Chains A and B, each alone.
Chain A
Amino acid sequence: MSGPTAPANAPTDRLQDGIYFRHGKTPGQCYRLLLLNVDPGTTPNDARAAIIAVWQTLQDLSRGVARDLQPTRPSDPKISVPVASLTCLLGFGARLFNPDLHVPRLMDPALRPWELVALRRPGAPFPNLPWALEEHQKPGETDLAIQFIAETELAVNLAVVEVWKLIVDRGLPLKIVTFHGGFARLDGRSWIDFHDGVNNMEAGEERRSAIEAVIADPPWMEGGTYMGFFRLAVDLASWRLLPREHQEILVGRDKLTGCPLEKVNRGPDGELVPVTPVGCPVSGTEPGSLRPEDREVPRVGDTLVGASHIHRSNHNRGAPNTDANNRIFRQGYEFLESPREGELSLGLNFVSFQRDLRRLKNSLRLPDWLGDVNFGGQVSPKPGEPAPIKLISAITGGFYAVPPKEEPFPGAEIM
């Protein structure tokens, strides 16, 4: 007798929901990252019970079940809240494993994945990625991070509020530190007006091979992944001062069509003339019309194009399953806020998933990648070429281990 068989299209991986790497799966339009700490003095058993309660509540919510709308009278109707394809994803921060911050200790420090460390240290997080002004900075590193993605603002906000209600109602030893929100742009562009994520990997196995932690180091993370989160402020005012040609050379693509630059010619007066491949775009102006080779562009010999953002962030343009290529799967959300009267702050919630955090760190730290410039371009340009621009700074950020799916919650085996 054989047991029940899984549906033919059932996923063979154990990655948590909320990472949209599969064919036909696109992330919802709305994003929240809820950051929580476990209260000081909490015992491991109490922390575990609290996480179970939160996770169960969120599983119920993702099926439309809200605690305060449960029938309490015989005549009550069954209410389902509109959760708009809500997904929830749980991550553990390095803080959770820190015995100095948790007495009694919540986790055996030896279980911490070696590369899961605090981002906030003296100095900038990466050589050319500075922190934003201190008054703009926000918390980003906590014991727990829960990512909510859904098609509506209501759904992701409901999730945050349901967790808050549960903590209050049950006196759970958890504290909401903050949350970060964002939205997807339906036009596939970012605040700097260029297409974003055009050369993200193909859906399916290619993405999975970059995302899934395939080795048991540590064993409890096998089949899981690691999340990198940065809330990046974009200096749009400075960007808009650049001529279009310079913007395109810094990005590596045509601003309107998304076509990759192949080289940069010099005009009769020495002006820079970006050149895109023959036949691009095929038709229309949206990234959907780009050929595969215009999305996943090959190596270039042109020095200016080779130093652009799209080539620096994917320097080798090699296979996602080879560590040297530092491939990561990005799933970003824009934000817009007014931190105080008269101020506008906008930027990107940079969210990446990768099988190994060193991929993300390497791409932000290595020279010729993004280690020696803030966004793109040459370190020492010649006269007339685009000068390096300090375009982005980190309002906050953090690294999280995202364990594989498990009952009663992901990562339960080590708590």
Chain B
Amino acid sequence: MAKEPGNLSDFRETALNEWSKLIQGYFPEERSNQLLVEPDDRTPDVVAVDWGAYPVRIRECLQSLPKSYRLLGWSTPQGDIGRADFQEEYFEWRVVRDATGKIRRVEMTTEFPEYWGILAAHHPVETLRLVARFAGEPSVSPRAVYGKVDPFHPDVTPEKRKAGFVETMRTFGGNAPWSPYNNGQKAICFMTQGANTMYALIALVAKAAFPYGAEDSETGELRRLSGPEAIAGTRQSAQACRNSDPTVVGATIGLAWDGRLFALDDPIGIYISSVQNERLLQPDGSPVPLEWFDFQRGSRPSGSEGLERSQRLVFEVPPGMGFVVGDLIDSDTDQRIEFGGQIADLVTLVVYLRVSERNAVQTQPEQVPMPTVVPCEQDPGCTYIISRNEEFEESQRNLLAGTPVNILDRTGNPIS
């Protein structure tokens, strides 16, 4: 039986069974013989693959860090569009501002939507309690979380609960979720950007689990492909130019190349491995203490034992300090904190793999022609990002002019 992400214990037996089956079902039947569905005695060692949580592709396409911060923070009365469309590194956030517009709190998550779907299907009371906790409210209306489905009606099945929950709390077509409890207005519970799923993570590793190599054009030697090369030249389930995908793909190919057996660690998850708290300066110039970052929803290492498995991070200045997050300075840029993306930039994520020794299995390199990697700033995906950014900037001008033409309804049509 698979463990719950972060070693949580939200599930009872039925939900845990469903979770285990879901994980197993995500692994393709025809897969590399080096990739195990779960770790075992043959894979005792841990390899941590980490990457920055800030969506670097957006900056590359827009050729500007400030512009990318703005787009990633695109928020409308219908929810956080920047998050739904562009927060793509297996990490999403919402920002809470005070009346003057200064950032008061940033809430971040790496929780999988699939996990929450099962939680909502089997444990509605716990689900509503958890949502209320994240929103800082005593309770929440089931309608705001399950939509038209009454999760407590005697005839309602887990499948119907899940369907109602998914319809209400997840993203469709780049729009923010309908529910204010996961569209950033009142709370953020789990990831909703289309690529931030457990399915995507498993597919990413499964497709990369082969010893892909090519003849180096400069040295003439056969060598393993890097992540960007593999994405360009082999069939991968990965997006080029992100931080996460090429890094995971490259690391996975490296393990396969070395003849290792490997598996995603149990519990599977995307974990918040660290935050660069000391980068942030208080108004008196002293660094922000790590304790202001509240690591949640996962087990923490103890002494030299254990791994960091938090899936939620909440950052705010403690009450009584006389200032808020928006008064802090990022010492890496000397800029005041104005966007959630600046806090995301402090965060490092990790996925753990369990591996065997080298040459545990005999492998033959799968040689392909050396792929040509398109520079990220010329990536075809940039066209969409640039176009959406123009749309965003136009909407901001319209908002300033008092004519919000760009607000969309649930189906994506503009609200007149």
Our verdict on whether A and B bind, yes or no, reads yes
Q: Which of A203-258 contact B (CB under 8 A)?
A: 203-206, 214-217
Report whether B274 and A366 are in contact in the complex, using a CB–CB cutoff of 8 Å.
Answer: yes
Once bound together, how far apart are the Cα atoms of A298 and B252, in whole Å?
11
Known: A214-B375, A366-B276. A322 touches B250 (CB 8 A): yes
* B59, A217: Cβ atoms closer than 8 Å: yes
Q: Are B227 and A318 in contact (CB under 8 A)?
A: yes
A204 to B52, CA, bound (A): 26
A368 and B375 form a contact (CB under 8 A): no
* Chain A residue nearest in CB terms to B244: A324
- Complex contact B348–A298 (CB within 8 A): no
Q: A323-B52, A358-B332 are in contact. Are A367 and B274 (CB under 8 A)?
A: yes
A178 and B130 CA atoms in complex are apart in Å by 60
Residues of B close to A214: CB separation below 8 A:
375-377
Partner of A217, one of B65, B244, B247, B355: B65
Which A-chain residue is minimally distant from B249 (CB atoms)?
A318
Q: Give chain B residues whose Cβ lies under 8 Å from the Cβ of A362.
A: 52
Q: How far is the CA of A61 from the CA of B297 in the complex (A)?
A: 63
Q: Are A117 and B332 interface neighbours, CB within 8 A? A: yes
* Count: A-B pairs, CB below 8 Å: 139
- Are A301 and B45 in contact, with the CB atoms below 8 A? yes
Contact of B226 (CB < 8 Å), options: A217, A277, A319: A319
- Nearest Cβ on chain B to A24's Cβ, whole angstroms: 12
Flag B221-253 by CB within 8 Å of A: 1 or 0 each. 101001111000000000000011011001100
- A82 to B375 alpha-carbon distance, docked (Å): 41
B32 CB, min distance to chain A CBs, angstroms: 17
Known interface pairs A117-B331, A214-B375. Does A299 touch B47 (Cβ–Cβ under 8 Å)? Answer: yes
Q: Could you tell me the distance between the alpha carbons of A367 and B347 in the complex, rounded to whole angstroms?
A: 11
A141 in the interface, Cβ–Cβ < 8 Å?
A: no
Given contacts A298-B254, A318-B227, A318-B250, contact A323 B243 (CB under 8 A): yes
> Does A319 contact B250, Cβ atoms closer than 8 Å?
yes
Per the bound structure, the CA–CA distance linking A325 and B332 in Å amounts to 18
A324–B229 CB distance below 8 A: no
Q: Chain B: residues with CB nearer than 8 A to chain A?
A: 44-52, 56, 59-60, 63-66, 216, 218-219, 221, 223, 226-229, 243-244, 246-247, 250-251, 254-255, 257-258, 260, 273-274, 276, 278-279, 285-287, 303-304, 331-335, 348, 355-358, 373, 375-377
Contact residues of A with B, CB < 8 Å? 23, 114-115, 117, 121-123, 127, 202-206, 214-217, 262-263, 277, 292, 298-303, 306, 315-319, 321-325, 358, 361-362, 365-368, 371, 378-380, 382
> Other than the known A215-B60, A301-B356, what 19 A-B pairs have Cβ atoms closer than 8 Å?
A202-B218, A206-B218, A215-B59, A216-B63, A217-B63, A263-B357, A277-B358, A298-B255, A299-B255, A315-B50, A316-B49, A316-B247, A317-B251, A319-B226, A321-B373, A322-B228, A324-B52, A324-B243, A368-B48
Please provide the 8 A-B residue pairs with the shortest distance between their CB atoms, ordered closest to farther: A301-B45, A319-B226, A380-B304, A324-B51, A324-B243, A114-B333, A318-B250, A324-B247
Chosen A-B contacts, 26 in total, with CB atoms closer than 8 Å, are A114-B332, A114-B335, A122-B286, A123-B278, A204-B218, A214-B377, A215-B63, A216-B63, A217-B59, A298-B254, A298-B255, A298-B258, A301-B45, A301-B47, A301-B260, A301-B357, A318-B227, A318-B250, A318-B251, A319-B229, A322-B246, A323-B56, A324-B51, A324-B52, A324-B246, A325-B250
